[in-house]
Homo-oligomer: A and B are copies of this chain.
């Protein structure tokens, strides 16, 4: 049980938060950081003193002081970067989604199969959130019976800067970028059922420029699974009140809801506006603790040589369903899987 030496790759907003978390992770040491962007490396030089900085990903892989890479890079790079890391003998953590096509997922799975001693974990962070885990435990214990319908949504506060509009070309669209989390939750909480058929539609409420990339700022989808279970997804970029990740699991003896009313904290205000609470403003505020747990679990997985709790097959299935939903959205027709 030695210390896991980690290189973080990608130092954008989320990458920086992962880096900070890794510095606090028990059994881990952040030893290197990599970014092709000079400004990001400058940040690291100050904020992460004492670590090696790389401009080039290949150089990271050649660093024998690095046991694992932590990829917070554009989705289009994930597959090749994971494969290269595995070939270099590194464990891999990679942000979601694994890839924007199933072929890339399969290529990664194939390479991973050649390195059974290396761990690969995909960052479906909600699996590490205390509330989602409590819901999963209650389902596993049968406390609400057998689940038959899951509804899940990822709703972001409207970002007037339109960051995600520019990002739309490479994100794979709202279903691949946002709903992928909800798709993974559906599989996890419904017991990994086989998807059968999907439908989707959407609308642009505030950001018509998304239409250029066949994308929308609000999308809804339905999914049938073998065995009769259902899932409904909603993704939005245009909420006024904050970030609302909400999941409802309807089961034969009850319903579990995770995240309704995304309270910022335990303060309630009673004034001329009524009785109210302020809300979490972004996914990071909502899942800050889960990101810390996720990093810890990744490190523990390596140190204790346990199976990765989020497998490449999970990630491939999420991509496969997300792509089918995107196709259904674009065609207006049901898509069978």
Determine if B228 and A253 form an interchain contact, defined as CB atoms under 8 angstroms apart. Answer: no
Q: Determine the distance from Cα of A177 to Cα of B253 in the docked complex, in whole angstroms.
A: 23
Task: Flag A243-283 by CB within 8 Å of B: 1 or 0 each.
Answer: 01000001011111111111111111111111111110000
Determine if A204 and B228 form an interchain contact, defined as CB atoms under 8 angstroms apart. Answer: yes
Chain A residues bordering chain B, tally (CB within 8 A): 69
Q: Which residue of B lies closest to A199 (CB)?
A: B199
The residue that A254 contacts in the complex, of B130, B229, B262, B270, with Cβ under 8 A, is B270
The residue that A241 contacts in the complex, of B206, B229, B230, B274, with Cβ under 8 A, is B274
Determine if B274 and A253 form an interchain contact, defined as CB atoms under 8 angstroms apart. Answer: no
Q: B residues within 8 A CB of A238? A: 148, 250, 252
Determine if B205 and A241 form an interchain contact, defined as CB atoms under 8 angstroms apart. Answer: no
Determine if B274 and A254 form an interchain contact, defined as CB atoms under 8 angstroms apart. Answer: no
Determine if B334 and A332 form an interchain contact, defined as CB atoms under 8 angstroms apart. Answer: yes
Determine if B259 and A266 form an interchain contact, defined as CB atoms under 8 angstroms apart. Answer: yes
Distance to closest chain B CB from A266 (angstroms): 4
* From A144, A240, A256, A261, residue with most partner B Cβ within 10 Å: A240
Q: Determine the distance from Cα of A260 to Cα of B135 in the docked complex, in whole angstroms.
A: 20
Determine if B271 and A274 form an interchain contact, defined as CB atoms under 8 angstroms apart. Answer: no
Binds B, one of A8-16, A89-97, A218-226: A218-226
Q: B residues within 8 A CB of A149? A: 203, 205, 218, 220, 236
Determine if A240 and B334 form an interchain contact, defined as CB atoms under 8 angstroms apart. Answer: no
Q: B residues within 8 A CB of A244? A: 270
The residue that A197 contacts in the complex, of B202, B206, B332, with Cβ under 8 A, is B332
Determine if B148 and A271 form an interchain contact, defined as CB atoms under 8 angstroms apart. Answer: no
Determine if B253 and A270 form an interchain contact, defined as CB atoms under 8 angstroms apart. Answer: no
Q: Determine the distance from Cα of A197 to Cα of B197 in the docked complex, in whole angstroms.
A: 18
Q: Determine the distance from Cα of A271 to Cα of B260 in the docked complex, in whole angstroms.
A: 15
- Asked if A131 CB lies within 8 Å of chain B CBs, one says yes
- Asked if A239 CB lies within 8 Å of chain B CBs, one says yes
Chain A interface (Cβ < 8 Å from any Cβ of B): 24, 26, 130-131, 134-135, 138, 144-146, 148-149, 151, 197, 199, 201-206, 218, 220, 222, 224, 228-230, 232, 234, 236, 238-242, 244, 250, 252-279, 332-334
- Chosen A-B contacts, 17 in total, with CB atoms closer than 8 Å, are A24-B26, A131-B265, A138-B269, A144-B240, A149-B220, A149-B236, A197-B332, A199-B201, A201-B222, A202-B230, A240-B270, A241-B254, A255-B269, A256-B268, A258-B268, A263-B266, A333-B333
